[in-house]
Amino acid sequence: MKKFLLLFLVSALLVVTAVSAEITFWKFTDTYADATIQRFVDLWNEENPDKKVVFETFPWGDYTGTKLTTAFATGEGPDVFFISPGDFLRYVNAGIALPLSEYLTADIISDFLPETIEAVTVGGEIYALPLEMEPVALFYNKTAFEEKGIAQPQDWAELTEIAAKLTTPNRHGIIVEVVPGYYQNFTWYPFLWTAGGDVVDENWEKSTFDSEGAVAALDLWGSFVKEELAPSSLPAGANDIGIFGNGLADMIVCGFWGVKQLQTEFPEFDFGVFPIPPYEKGGESISVYGGWKMMLNARGENTDIAAEFAKWLVAEQIDFPLDWCTVTNSKFSPRYSVLDAGEVFYSTPPNDVFLEILKTSKSEPTFTPEMVKAVSDALQAVMFAGMDPKAAAKGASAAIDAYLSRYTGGVPGK
């Protein structure tokens, strides 16, 4: 009996020793993608029983709302978490984001496209691992275009004419995001940049929003709604391309992720993709790519393990990022090695169109919430309150300048 008891105690001690550390990994719930992450988390846990990762997901509205901020405010934030470009700087400036440079070798960093590392660098320090790139484009209904003899628009005037031609009493010509916030700004920036506008100067010393380009881009989206070419309310966010697949409109401004969703949910739907048309014929089309990043909690108790896990998942292997970007989703990896491994996928239509768009795309700006709100307020005022675009641009520019005059946080890429 004593021998049995001794063996039991030794076994129990071994179990306690084996599970010596546990870290939490949070993201929003995604029915398409979560199983892929869980599969790799299980693989990590199998190979590292003393460094267990607990993967948890939360409804989109909660996660992108107050879930993270509340958790960190109460000291219960996760060790590893997905962060959007729109929220990146908030966590860096608050001291929540763990600096990662000491964990990343030169070989690891050189495998990432330089602009993706620059986008997560503040004050010379890397604060997140880029996971994906999703350029924005215009999806269109091929059948509707063919029936009405419509060709790809070459400028904004033609885009507006096509949207009007496609609009019927039961169907809109185009869908753009109508809900204020990061996502609406994100999908509007290509129009702002294509027209020659921007939000701030390179060093964030002064707003550049009071410009002809900003006025033109505000006016375009305002006209979409005022002329009823685009719906003024949506049954779901415009990031859910299912509203396009269900026939709400024959064009939608959406990102690369929409390809996989349409192919999965609407396998018979014949759709195409073209770049955001330039402001004028012969001009340059500039798009934007977003993408979630992995950030680590600087206040966590096991930061070394969190860094080891995140580096293993995102930066050291091919299998997870290749599956994540080309099987589970339709996305570009920010790593050269993964892009090479996914060459067949990226050269297959319509993915090849996005590959060309990516070449003239900029990373989603990581503005502060105050700057995002100033731009968002201008867009909403023009789209839904009838404000003159010039007045909206001037007001937003003044708000941004007032904010920058007291801003003491970091500037991304600097």
Q: DSSP readout, 323-337? A: HIIIIIS--B-SBHH
* Among 276, 279, 270, CA closest to 353: 276
pLDDT of amino acid 413: 87
Model confidence at 16, in pLDDT bands (50, 70, 90)? very low
- Tell me the pLDDT band of 60, cut-offs 50, 70 and 90: confident
pLDDT given for residue 64 in this prediction? 86
User: What is residue 50's three-state secondary structure?
Assistant: coil
* Per-residue pLDDT tens digits for 339-356: 999 999 999 999 999 999
Which of the two residues, 216 and 12, has the higher pLDDT score? 216
pLDDT at 3: 53
* In the chain, % of residues over pLDDT 70: 95
| pLDDT bracket for residue 17 (50, 70, 90) | very low
User: Which tokens belong to 41?
Assistant: 């988390």
* Per-residue confidence band for 13, with pLDDT thresholds at 50, 70 and 90: very low
Compute the average pLDDT of residues 81-86.
93
pLDDT in tens, 201-244: 999 999 999 999 999 999 999 999 999 999 999 999 999 999 99
pLDDT tens-digit map of 295-329 = 999 999 999 999 999 999 999 999 999 999 999 99
Residue 2 has pLDDT above 60, yes or no: no
Task: Give the side-chain half-sphere CA count within 13 A for 111.
Answer: 21
Average of per-residue pLDDT across 273-292: 96
273: pLDDT strictly greater than 50:
yes
pLDDT exceeds 80 at position 12: no
Checking DSSP bridges between strand 134-141 and strand 271-274, what pairing results, if any?
Answer: antiparallel
Residue ranges of alpha helices (H) inside 195-240 are 212-226
Collapsed DSSP state (helix, strand, coil) of residue 375? helix
Angle at 129 between CA 126 and CA 130, to 5 degrees: 115
- Please compute the mean of the pLDDT values over residues 13-41 and round it to a whole number: 83
Average pLDDT score, the chain: 94
pLDDT in tens, 97-147: 999 999 999 999 999 999 999 999 999 999 999 999 999 999 999 999 999
Pair 345, 351: CB distance under 8 Å: yes
Between CA 261 and CA 243 the distance in angstroms is: 11
Q: Where are the beta strands (DSSP E) in 187-286?
A: 251-255, 271-274
CA distances from 174 to 65, 135, 246, 296, 382 (A): 28, 18, 13, 39, 17
Q: Give the C-alpha separation, 305 to 317, whole Å.
A: 17
The DSSP secondary-structure symbol of 343 reads: H
Beta bridge partners of 288: 362
Residue 329's pLDDT is 96
